[in-house]
Structure 1
Amino acid sequence: MLGPAFVAAIAYVDPGNVATNTAAGSAYGNLLLWVVVLATLMAAPVQYLSARLGIVSGASLPAYVAARSRRRVSRLAYWGQAELVAVATDVAEIVGAAVALHLLLGMPLVPAGLVAGLTAMVLLVLRDALGTRFFEVVCAGSLAVIGLCFAFGLVQVPPSPGELAEGLLPRLGGSETVLLAAGIVGATVMPHAVYLHSSLASDDRSTRERAQHEAAGVEERLRTARWDVGLAMLVAGTVNVSMLVLGAAALGGGDGDSLEAAYDALSGGLGTAAGTAFAVALLVSGLASTAVGTQAGAAIMRGLLRRRVSQLVRRAVTLVPALALLASGTEPLAVLVHSQVVLALGLPFALVPLVLASREHRPPGSGEGVVRVVAVVAALVIALDLTLVALTVTN
């Protein structure tokens, strides 16, 4: 029954994570390493609570919100913000994969973005044909590939233990680091992954898989979910730490002010293999996560509006803004970082209902410790968002 958390975890190592972590490491060394670690520790209870909601209630978080929304306008407004974060995610994933294809094959960005979108459609078709287990294995394999690519870079420039320890001391260095911190949190916790995981844990399986999954008791499924989330978060968190540490060790001094500059710096400083590994990791993260993002968007619409839209249609529609940004000449790294900030701003709208829903749907004999932890996480995210807004307004 392991697997759903690994699908959600692909969102934690997508091109948005590569961009924010690499940019943070390049510009500020290990200064924001503590943010990556804290964001991973925040994401674990959030994902478990999302899975618990799906297992106990049999419904996704979007469906819970829809059932509690008395007025159609409020449900549409909530869907609008949830759809915005899903589109922001789709844009980041297509842009990241397009840049990777450009670096590896020399493809122009717009055709590369189109190829990335079509590849995501193929993955979705294969998922429907071969079942959920196939897609879970693909996501777990993608996590492994991305991790190995960044591990290869770290072998070339091993980090200093003293610098790592210093990076774990909580501190910031100005408004720009607040922006990056928000991007790291948004890229790691990710609202659309919260929506998706509750759906995966409830009913987003084939009839045969669902019957096998539900044959186990609730307590056994919750125990499996804890292992699933714990293992997935351990892998994803380690990969995210590796991204920032590699950026600090190999790109210090601002060599990561664009993804192409980071690729060139790694290739020039550590050899062609290191640059290629970086681009392959970016490509795999983009292709795998774009299919996950599309699946999340479909779960959001199905739960909130009770309408099923083909995931292929969704992928085709959300491909348009990504291609438009690629055609506009906007720096891809800036697009990726700011898209993750949008996710951070959308997080409270997922976390607060998750806490309320989890208090209402509790497994028998379960304590409220994890609910309280997620409530604290929600408060921290809201405080970070308000700080970012205040800095933006005053500056």
Structure 2
Amino acid sequence: MPKTTSPTRMRGVWLLGPALVAGVAYLDPGNVASNMSAGAEYGYLLVWVVVAGNVMAWLIQYLSAKLGVVTGRSLPEILGERMTGTWARRGYWLQAELVAVATDLAEIIGGAVALQLLFGIPLLLGGVITGVVSMLLLAVQSRRGPRHFEFVVIGLMAVITIGFVAGLFIAPPDPAAVAGGLLPRFADSGSVLLAASILGATIMPHAIYAHSALARDRFGDSPERRGEPGAKGSGIRRLLTATRWDVTIAMAVAGSVNLAMLLLAAANLPGVEGTDTLEGAHAALTAALGPVIGVLFAVALLASGLASTSVGAYAGAEIMHGLLSVRVPLITRRLVTLIPALAILAIGIDPTFALILSQVVLSFGIPFALIPLVALTAQKKTLGEHANRRATTVLGIVCAVLLIALNAMLLWLVATGG
């Protein structure tokens, strides 16, 4: 009798996806700039920062997804219900909205720079094109549902992975040096600044908001979440197991690509001037490894901007709906949030400076997303039997304290020119 795949096992595969979409936030143009700069300036010194950031990201994204799976609501929705004061909700929404706009700024600029590198398109026109294509991607989510949106974003993630990893096959890093980079240490204030930038570009508030909403949209009324009759909670337990695998796969991909960026620069661009900009890194890679790698890098940067800006717009719409009970169509919202990025490009502000500015703004939003997430997932009245264990809550608090401290250090170093 031929061997067949059981329906249960097949359904298990189809439970994967939301984390891969949220994981795109870990591969946005801000990550590219931070990782390439770190590798070019300090070689393998900050390998441990990328690894540590990815470990913390796993826990944070799992907690966000768990909140959406168990409650059937997103983090902004729950906060909107818990905040009784109108002005408190509006104030929280304002800071979250600024985070969403800053996210869009970085990603539209990254896409515009990529189009200029590939086709010589002026930055302003490139920003418009990036915005239009992102609206088409959001139309898939609005009209075809979350599953089709996941397919598109995962496809873009594959392009990102190939583009940023390809150079390592031509010029692989030194294994001993990579292992040495796992030892936590700094060289000077500049390395501290870059470490904070890497973490600030890795764990971003909008990814936390988005993941809880993505899990809700996929599993909110699914048969898996309802569970089998007579087996209380079995459906949610199964979904949480699948979610852990989903987050593990997503963070393994995102972490590997982020590490590949740093190793690519460390192996091929040490001491090369101008690599602190996306344009400079592209030029240096092209000169060192050839035009094919340069083109792949630019294509990956474009895919990074398109995918991450779509997820950012999704997060922004969820923030507004959850906190203000206002539902704005994703495409309409995309048009509104596109304006600040296009204004930056039209004025002629240096794209790299704008990217750095956006990361600073994102740093302000970290505590507002992380602290409520850890607190809510630790509450039995919110998650019942699925509330965090004590060790998980402690780890969540440690991650939150560490990330908030590092982001505060980033703000201080930027303000003082350190």
TM bucket by the smaller chain?
over 0.9
Residues 40 and 269, structure 2, Cα contact 8 Å, conserved in 1:
yes
Per the alignment, residue 368 of structure 1 pairs with: 390
Distance 1:321 1:173, change over 3 A: farther
After superposition, residues 189-338 of structure 1 pair within 5 angstroms as 189-202=203-216, 204-205=217-218, 210-216=221-227, 217-253=235-271, 254-338=273-357
Following the alignment from structure 1 to structure 2, what is the Cα–Cα distance between the partners of residues 72 and 198? 23
Matched, 1:11 2:25: yes
Report Cα offsets for 1:294-340 as digits up to 9, x if no partner: 00000111111111011111111111111111122222222223322
Give the aligned partner of residue 387 of structure 1: 409
Q: Distance in 2 between matches of 1:246 and 1:375?
A: 33
Question: Hey, what's the Cα distance between the residues in 1 that align with 2:324 and 2:284?
Answer: 47
Q: CA deviation at 1:174?
A: 3.2
The answer to whether the Cα contact below 8 Å between 1:20 and 1:336 also exists between their aligned partners in 2 is no
1:330-365 CA deviation, whole Å, 9 max, x = no partner? 222222233223223311111100011112223426
Is the contact made by 2:224 and 2:236 (CA closer than 8 Å) also made in structure 1? no
1:344 touches 1:381 (CA, 8 Å); kept in 2?
no
**Alpha-carbon separation, structure 2, partners of 1:268 and 1:343:** 33
How far is the alpha carbon of 1:389 from its aligned partner?
A: 4.0
Matched AA of 1:332 = P
Describe the SS at the equivalent of 2:283. Answer: helix
Q: Secondary structure at the match of 1:170?
A: coil
Residues 163, 330 of structure 1: CA spacing in aligned structure 2 closer, same or farther, 3 A cutoff? farther
Gaps of at least 5 residues in structure 1 are none
Distance in 2 (alpha carbons) for counterparts of 1:365 and 1:55: 10
TM-score (normalizing by structure 2) = 0.89
Q: Which secondary structure state, in structure 2, belongs to the residue aligned with residue 172 of structure 1?
A: coil
Could you say which structure has the larger radius of gyration?
A: 2
Measure the CA separation in 1 of the matches of 2:172 and 2:200.
Answer: 28
> In structure 1, how many angstroms separate the alpha carbons of the residues matched to 2:223 and 2:149?
17
Are residues 394 and 19 of structure 1, via their aligned partners in 2, closer, same or farther at CA, if it must alter by over 3 Å?
closer
Report deviation, 1:384. Answer: 1.3
CA distance in 2, matches of 1:95, 1:389: 21
* Letter in structure 2 aligned against 1:178: V
Task: Map 1:83-162; keep pairs closer than 5 Å.
Answer: 83-162=97-176
CA 1:251–1:371 in structure 2 vs 1: closer, same or farther (change >3 Å)?
same
Q: Provide the C-alpha distance between the structure 2 equivalents of 1:189 and 1:386, rounded to a whole number of angstroms.
A: 14
Deviations 1:31-50 (A, max 9, x none): 22211111110000101101
Distance 1:301 1:171 in 2: 41
Structure 2 unaligned segments of length 5 or more: list them: 1-14, 228-234
Question: Structure 1 residues 389 and 117, CA, compared in 2 at 3 Å: closer, same or farther?
Answer: closer
Measured in 2, the distance between the counterparts of 1:21 and 1:90 equals: 19
Whole-angstrom CA distance in 2 between matches of 1:133 and 1:279: 28
Which whole-Å CA distance do the structure 2 matches of 1:288 and 1:218 have between them?
A: 29
**Contact 1:10 1:285 (C-alpha < 8 Å) held by counterparts:** yes
Correspondence 1:31 to 2:42: no
**91-100 or 310-319, larger mean C-alpha shift:** 310-319
Contact map agreement 1:29 1:249 (CA 8 A) in 2? yes
Distance in 1 of aligned mates of 2:203 and 2:393: 16
Query: Could you tell me which amino acid in structure 1 is paired with residue 225 of structure 2?
Result: E
Paired residues of 2:49 and 2:195 also in contact (CA < 8 A): yes
Identity of aligned residues (%): 52
Structure 1: how far apart are the matches of 2:384 and 2:255?
A: 28
| 1:180 to partner: Cα distance | 2.2
Following superposition, the deviation at residue 186 of structure 1 comes to 2.0
8 A contact 2:226–2:236 mirrored in 1: no
Q: Which moved more, 1:102-111 or 1:326-335?
A: 326-335
1:150 positional shift: 1.7
Alignment check: 8 A CA contact 1:20 1:337 kept: no
Residue 375 of structure 2 is aligned to residue 356 of structure 1: yes
Q: Which residue of 1 aligns with 2:83?
A: 69
1:78 corresponding residue in structure 2: 92
Write the distance in 2 (CA, Å) between the matches of 1:213 and 1:290.
30
Cα deviations across residues 147-183 of structure 1 (Å, max 9, x unaligned)?
Answer: 1112211112110112212221212233333332222
Deviations 1:36-92 (A, max 9, x none): 111110000101101111112221111222222221111111111111111111001
